[in-house]
């Protein structure tokens, strides 16, 4: 009988060890799962809607290195005051060390893009257009800077102010140069300029 009770005791010990191991494993697995799921159970902080970092309007100046109208726009943008509440980016098609130097000297961000990239990102085929996006990234203005060719009354800041005041800003015509091959061919069928 003592042999049977010894084997029964050994079986009970193994059963207690197995149950103990299972309890320790279940507790450990629960801790790990809770740690992994915490971000799904707890509401995390969201940025405030009026956080100035989110409320950034953006002005994209698409300029073409070989275009004298683009050069005048760059001179205007570089010479005027800029607001800390607006991000400005010069999208430069082509290579022009002078354009890049002016941007660097005036702390204007410049990004070199190909004609194809500019057309794909913004639908821009001619330079120099102004694209203004609101804080959500939606394009609110796509047009020119002045109401006539070689005009000196640049309206980029007035346009931005109108948009920020929730007013309409009808697009001004874009005067300058064609950027895409198809537009250049249409503007200069004899190939004298492009």
* Cα–Cα distance measured from residue 56 to residue 136, given in angstroms and rounded to the nearest whole number: 9
Calculate the CA 88 to chain-centre distance: 12
The pLDDT assigned to 38 comes to 63
* Claim to verify: residue 121 and residue 178 sit in the same structural domain: yes
- Residue 193 in any domain: the answer is no
* Claim to verify: residue 31 and residue 76 sit in the same structural domain: no
The pLDDT assigned to 157 comes to 95
* Residues contacting 106, CB < 8 A, separation 6+: 77, 78
- Residue 49 in any domain: the answer is no
- Residue 175 in any domain: the answer is yes
* Claim to verify: residue 74 and residue 169 sit in the same structural domain: yes
* Claim to verify: residue 27 and residue 120 sit in the same structural domain: no
* Claim to verify: residue 37 and residue 99 sit in the same structural domain: no
* Cα–Cα distance measured from residue 15 to residue 29, given in angstroms and rounded to the nearest whole number: 21
Which residues share a beta bridge with 59?
88, 132
Distances (CA, A) of 191 to 94, 181, 187: 18, 11, 9
* Claim to verify: residue 10 and residue 92 sit in the same structural domain: no
The pLDDT assigned to 76 comes to 95
By residue count, the chain amounts to: 194
3-class DSSP state of 130? strand
* Cα–Cα distance measured from residue 44 to residue 128, given in angstroms and rounded to the nearest whole number: 43
The pLDDT assigned to 66 comes to 84
Residue 139 parent element (H or E): strand 139-143
Q: Which domain holds residue 12?
A: 1-44
Q: Considering its fold, how many domains does the chain have in total?
A: 2
Average pLDDT for consecutive 10-residue bins of the chain (194 residues)? 72 85 87 70 60 77 92 94 88 92 92 92 91 93 91 92 94 91 87 81
- Residue 111 in any domain: the answer is yes
* Claim to verify: residue 28 and residue 105 sit in the same structural domain: no
The pLDDT assigned to 45 comes to 63
Q: Which of 102, 137, 142 is nearest to 125 (CA)?
A: 142
The pLDDT assigned to 71 comes to 94
């Amino acid at each position: 009988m003592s042999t049977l009770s010894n084997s029964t005791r050994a079986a009970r010990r193994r059963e207690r060890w197995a149950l103990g191991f299972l309890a320790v494993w279940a507790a450990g697995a629960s801790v790990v799962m809770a740690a992994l799921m915490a971000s799904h159970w707890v509401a995390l902080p969201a940025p405030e809607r009026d956080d100035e970092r989110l409320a950034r309007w953006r002005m994209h100046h698409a300029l073409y290195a070989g275009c004298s109208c683009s050069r005048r726009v760059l001179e205007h943008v570089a010479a005027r005051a800029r607001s800390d509440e607006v991000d400005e980016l010069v999208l430069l098609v082509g290579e022009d060390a002078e354009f890049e130097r002016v941007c660097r000297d005036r702390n204007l961000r410049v990004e070199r893009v190909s004609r194809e990239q500019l057309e794909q990102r913004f639908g821009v085929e001619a330079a120099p257009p102004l694209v203004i996006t609101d804080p959500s990234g939606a394009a609110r203005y796509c047009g020119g800077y002045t109401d006539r060719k070689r005009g000196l009354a640049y309206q980029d800041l007035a346009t931005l102010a109108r948009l920020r005041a929730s007013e309409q800003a009808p697009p001004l015509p874009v005067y300058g140069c064609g950027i895409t091959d198809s537009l250049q061919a249409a503007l200069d069928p004899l190939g004298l300029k492009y």
